[in-house]
Amino acid sequence: MRSIKDDMYDEAFRLWDMVPAGTVPGYGSAGSVYRFANGCGHGEYWAYFHDNLFAVNAFDMTFEHAGVMRYRHAEHLSIGYYEAADLIVQSGGSTLRAGAISTYLAEEGAEYVALYQPGSATRATSITISPDYYRDYLQARFGNIPDVRRAFALVDGRTDFPELVALCKQVRAYQGACMAATLFYEGAVAEALALVIERAAAIEAERAEGSAPSLSKEDRAALDDLSAHINGNLAGALSCEELARRACMGQTKLKAAFKAAYGTSPAAFVADARIERAIELLNSTDEPIAHIPRAVGYRKPGAFAEAFRRRTGVPPSAYRRRSA
């Protein structure tokens, strides 16, 4: 990556029609402030860019109209604390949660899609790091390093991470400039990464203590086959009893195996797969919404709509309208 600003941010600013706004009180002078130029919304997006390694962001924006933003991006990792979060990041089918840590694991060339409606507000402080930082720089400095992408995934959605929340608030309030600012933001990014790696290791340890013994090769193969069966038969009956019979396991063993392999129960695994398929159908097909519940295994449309709303923050009809 030549420059994190050129390779990642400029295209997003162009698509959102955001332009430099000069110095704005309340934002660090070492960074740049951007504002909407097209009436799409109001507020500011502040960013401090450090070569090809990282960016630090603080933003407080409200959208005036419903819309969708999509663009393809370079590989990166992002983590932030959201104080307000009405924006829906559709790329992963997830809804940002106020008061929670949110991470975004971006693959090279993948499409970022964000949905917003009139009055949607988003206020957050975040850090974005490039693979030049979390692979090349860290590996050159420390040699064997933890899986940083997995660490980010493990802390996503946490509401019990006060150390990282405090750091984000400190970053947002910082007003330094010149060399002092460079040192501060370098230190903040390093501290954030250290906190994430430590918390991820603790989560892994907690899971290991409460999980079943390591899965045998045969049990792992059975779960792989069962996962494929679930995703290929979402319209059918997928009770724990039926899944256990298919895997040639007792229900107690099946639940323990799912917990060890996937960190969740068979029922939750099936429910997630059904909503993921519904999101796929809404995004990529013209299938009538009335047909989708049965296609993904729901016999009652109301139960499907409620499960979908809990996962995405909006009902299926609104989701399709905003992604069109």
- What is 217-323's CATH number, 3.30.420.60, 1.10.3720.10, 1.10.10.60, 3.40.50.1820? 1.10.10.60
Residue 65 confidence (pLDDT) = 86
Strands across the sheet with 100-106, in order?
A: 18-20, 32-36, 41-50, 54-63, 121-129, 76-85, 100-106
At the second CATH level, the architecture of 4-208 is Sandwich (2.60)
d(CA 36, CA 175): 23
pTM above 0.85, yes or no: no
Which pair of structure tokens corresponds to residue 232? 């290929």
For residue 10, list its beta bridge partners: none
- Ordered per-residue pLDDT tens for the chain, 324 residues: 789 999 899 988 998 899 999 889 889 999 999 999 988 899 999 999 999 999 999 999 999 988 888 888 889 999 999 988 876 665 554 567 788 899 988 888 888 888 888 888 899 999 999 999 998 999 899 988 889 999 999 998 888 899 999 999 999 999 999 999 999 999 999 999 999 999 999 988 877 766 545 678 888 889 989 999 998 999 998 999 999 999 999 999 999 888 888 778 899 889 988 988 898 888 888 899 999 999 999 999 999 998 888 777 678 888 787 655
Burial of 139 (0-12, 13-18, 19+ CB in 10 A): exposed
* Domain spans in the chain, listed from the N-terminal domain onward: 4-208, 217-323
